[in-house]
Structure 1
Amino acid sequence: MSKIGYARVSTADQSLDIQIQKLTDAGCTKIFSDTATGSNTKRNGFIELNKYLRAGDTLVITRIDRIARSVLDLQNLVISLRENDIQLSALEQSITTDTASGKAFLDMLAVFAEFELNIRRERQIEGINAAKAAGKYKGRKPLSNKIKEEIDSLYLKHYSISAIARELKVSRNSVYKTLRAQQPTKL
């Protein structure tokens, strides 16, 4: 039975050091980490962690929001861990999945973590709307007429959409939008 740690920060501006120190102090023999948002399910450290965990291990995290961003994510993780005889322990919330009360508390914390995430999203949208109303948030600059003409020209020369996007360093979506506006019947 080994204690295996997992640490995650959302951006490169943040440091993993405090989490790693807490996991080390808790007796973790191996620690996996990621610098990525919690909503990103393709985190390399998390993938490697899941490959490494064995029956009888305890997965240790500092807080539940380091490993899951929604109640559903957390419940799926806990079910997967339980099926493989792996326990989950969160240090700062003093919870573990080896007791009924620990499981219930874990679910309640996940609900509040998801609520906090949703509130943050709502505030962000409110801020963006206020910035738009004040004329400070205008989105991406439109493509210049020169770029639009080049898109049209390359398309007429039978370049693929991807090749046009690469050549002009614009997104494929921008190429499609430009072509639809200039040649609606050809797409």
Structure 2
Amino acid sequence: MTKIGYARVSTLEQNLDMQLDALKGEGCKQVFTDKVSGVKSSKPNFTKLMEYLRPGDTIVVWKLDRLGRSTVQLIELIEDLKKKGVNLKSLSESIDTTSATGNLFFQFMCILAEHERNIIRERTSAGLQAARARGRRGGRPKGLNERYQLIAPEVREVYEKNTRSTEEIRKMFSIKSQPTLYKILEFAGADVKGFAKKRKGLTK
């Protein structure tokens, strides 16, 4: 079994030293690092880490939020690790999936993943019913990939808080275009037209 560390900070100004010291102290012979926001989907060296992993290896992190800032991101990752036969250890939360307790953690996260999917399905169904009631035809927006479907509830939550412009939301969730953002919101059951009227001062 090989311990492989992963460390991440959000900006170029932040320092990785504390995380690196902790990972080396845990016995990680190799550590991958990124300097990028946790909400961004593109983390170059984390991608390399996932390609490097082999069954039986263990990813070690200082805290779980180094792997992703959202529940959806973490659930996706844990499911991928389970399929690869890779373990996970978080030093701050004392989580170690090489132990019996850690295996229960894996199982719990799988249950949480299914719960998250059910919520998405329920919200989508409610959104479609509301759209039909207003005389609009529903259905899954064409070209909406799985990642966008998974983040849709979080995108809707941020959008409906009305504190960020649509451009800021796109950057936060790495959404490629304005039409795609609206497809995601429609998928999540958001009343896009209704909220758009309230956002004139924020929308760019």
TM range (shorter): 0.5 to 0.7
Give 1:97's aligned amino acid.
T
User: TM-score scaled by structure 1?
Assistant: 0.55
Taking the TM superposition and a 5 Å limit, the aligned residue runs for 1:8-157 are 8-98=8-98, 99-103=102-106
Confirm or deny: 8 A CA contact 1:7 1:19 kept in the other structure. Answer: yes
Larger radius of gyration: 1
For residue 138 of structure 1, what is the aligned residue in structure 2? Answer: none
Give 1:49's aligned amino acid.
L
Gaps of 5+ in 1: 108-116, 129-187
What's the CA shift for 1:106?
6.8
Confirm or deny: 8 A CA contact 1:4 1:31 kept in the other structure. Answer: yes
Give the Cα separation in 2 of the matches to 1:106 and 1:25. 27
Give the fraction of aligned pairs with identical amino acids, expressed as a percent. 37
SS state at 2:37 partner: coil
Give 2:91's aligned amino acid.
L
Distance 1:92 1:105, change over 3 A: farther
Gaps of 5+ in 2: 111-153, 165-204
Give 1:103's aligned amino acid.
F
Q: Aligned pair count?
A: 121
What's the CA shift for 1:104?
6.7
Give the Cα separation in 2 of the matches to 1:37 and 1:71. 15
Distance 1:125 1:29, change over 3 A: farther
For residue 6 of structure 1, what is the aligned residue in structure 2? Answer: 6
What's the CA shift for 1:45?
1.0
What's the CA shift for 1:100?
3.9
